[in-house]
Amino acid sequence: MNNQKLITPRKLQGFWELMPKQQMLFSSLLNRIEEVFKANCFLPLDTPILEYSEALLAKSGGETDKQVFRFLKGDTDMCMRYDLTVPLARFVSMHKNELSFPFKRFQIGKVYRGERPQKGRFRELYQCDADIIGNETLSEVADAECINLFEKCFNALNLDVNILVSNRKILAGFIQDINFEEKSTEIFIVLDKLAKIPYEDAMKQLIEIGLSKTECEKLIALTKTNGTFKEVKKSISNLCQNEIFQKGLEELENTFKYLEILGNNSIVCDLSIIRGHNYYTGTVFEGFLKNSEYTGAVGGGGRFENLCSYFSDTKMPGVGMSVGITRLFDVLLAENYFDLSQANEIECAVVTFDETFEAGLKLVSKLRQNDIKAESFYENKSFKSQMKEANRRQVKYVLIVGEDEVKTGNYTLKNMTTGEQISLELNQIIEHLKDDRMASAMPNNNN
């Protein structure tokens, strides 16, 4: 007898692990988003999970540095990627002479963040990113295209979202105008938390930075401005004549103009959108689920003019979007958005008798050759036990193979949900199962 002490199976906190049916649903969401990216002419890219620390931390700062998984292997100082954007900047800078610009890429992969695990916050998570990188210049058409793509991703998942758009230059210009430009990063961090902390706490933190009470009130009031772009412009255009402020307003105007051309007429201009990363320099946007108890963003993105400057002398402005698919899926699971009974690895179970087992196995092979997920319960020998196993696994269709069926080539297909039975030839069964699969599929709006 083995007296070795058994290790208690457990996993690290904040790291995600799904049951098979949940994983099937999650993978289907990833596939839908990937199809949207491809349909809009974005190219695939997969960068390493590990990067040199000097590259990954080139332009992070603040809370980001504290949350990066960083370690030494021999003399090599490396980090696990915190997001997919900085590795993209490194890649583009390395291969700029081989790429065609604007360079449109997508990447779906895991990122790692050493933050305290809590609802909606993970240490390992998937991101679905798409970015457009320019050479020297990049039109605001790219900003609109990324926002348009962001909306299409949620349409493909059959989800309603509120998409809110702003431009960081507006707040940056106002901060410069009141002579606090050198404190802008600290101020942005406080403003980005306004929805999560009491007004009094925000005021206190801004005053501690050095702002007067009046300046704090004006700045917070500015972040609360929202509506159509025309309404926002009318409200704030005369508030500040700072050049950066006015430039942000101009860029927003162009972005909303192109969004309207692309058919996005319901997107809101909201100056509370800031985004936590300090590499964003212009347009920023976030998405929030409608009709959900979860109030956090489930994705976003924005413009970054200078990210590649740490890797290249060539100016390569970019704009990107990201769906936080792990957080989104976690929210949808909690709110029972999915019918897990519809997620099944088996579309059709082939149930046989002793004398028809081999014939049934051949049918399994033929069904699989025709892209039908078929299975034979060969460990459950009796007909009754095979039917029980089909029920236990929530298989919708069972193909019954008796001696008469083998002789005639007409097989009994039973719908385990309705109890309906029909007798069909194999090619008819394949067609019936494929038609049923299409009818049961989630609507796909990624046109």
In this structure, which CATH number among 3.30.930.10, 3.90.245.10, 3.20.20.60, 3.40.50.300 belongs to the domain 20-334?
Answer: 3.30.930.10
Per-residue model confidence (pLDDT) at position 443: 42
**Locus of tokens 């796909």:** 444
Per-residue model confidence (pLDDT) at position 2: 64
Contacts of 243 (CB under 8 A, 6+ apart): 173
Per-residue pLDDT band for 4 (boundaries 50, 70, 90) equals: confident
Cis preceding-peptide flag for 102 (omega within 30 of 0): yes
> Domain coordinates of the chain in residue numbers?
20-334, 345-440
What CATH superfamily is the domain 345-440?
Answer: Anticodon-binding domain (3.40.50.800)
Per-residue model confidence (pLDDT) at position 447: 38
Percent of the chain with pLDDT over 70: 95
pLDDT at 136 over 80: yes
Among candidates 399, 428, 402, which has minimal Cα distance to 415? 399
Lowest mean pLDDT among 342-346, 361-365, 426-430: 342-346
pLDDT at 295 over 50: yes
Average pLDDT, the chain: 91
Per-residue model confidence (pLDDT) at position 65: 74
Per-residue model confidence (pLDDT) at position 63: 61
pLDDT at 216 over 80: yes
Q: State pLDDT tens for residues 74-105.
A: 999 999 999 999 899 999 999 999 999 999 99
Per-residue pLDDT band for 64 (boundaries 50, 70, 90) equals: low
| Alpha carbons 22 and 392: distance in angstroms, whole number | 17
Q: Do domains 20-334 and 345-440 have the same CATH topology?
A: no
Per-residue model confidence (pLDDT) at position 59: 62
Query: What is the model's pTM?
Result: 0.87
| Alpha carbons 146 and 319: distance in angstroms, whole number | 7
pLDDT at 30 over 90: yes
pLDDT at 444 over 50: no
Mean pLDDT in residue range 285-300: 92
DSSP state of 354: G
Q: How many CB atoms lie within 10 A of CB 15?
A: 13
CB 132 within 8 A of CB 143: no
Per-residue model confidence (pLDDT) at position 446: 40
- Torsion of the alpha carbons at 122, 124, 128 and 132, rounded to the nearest 10: 100
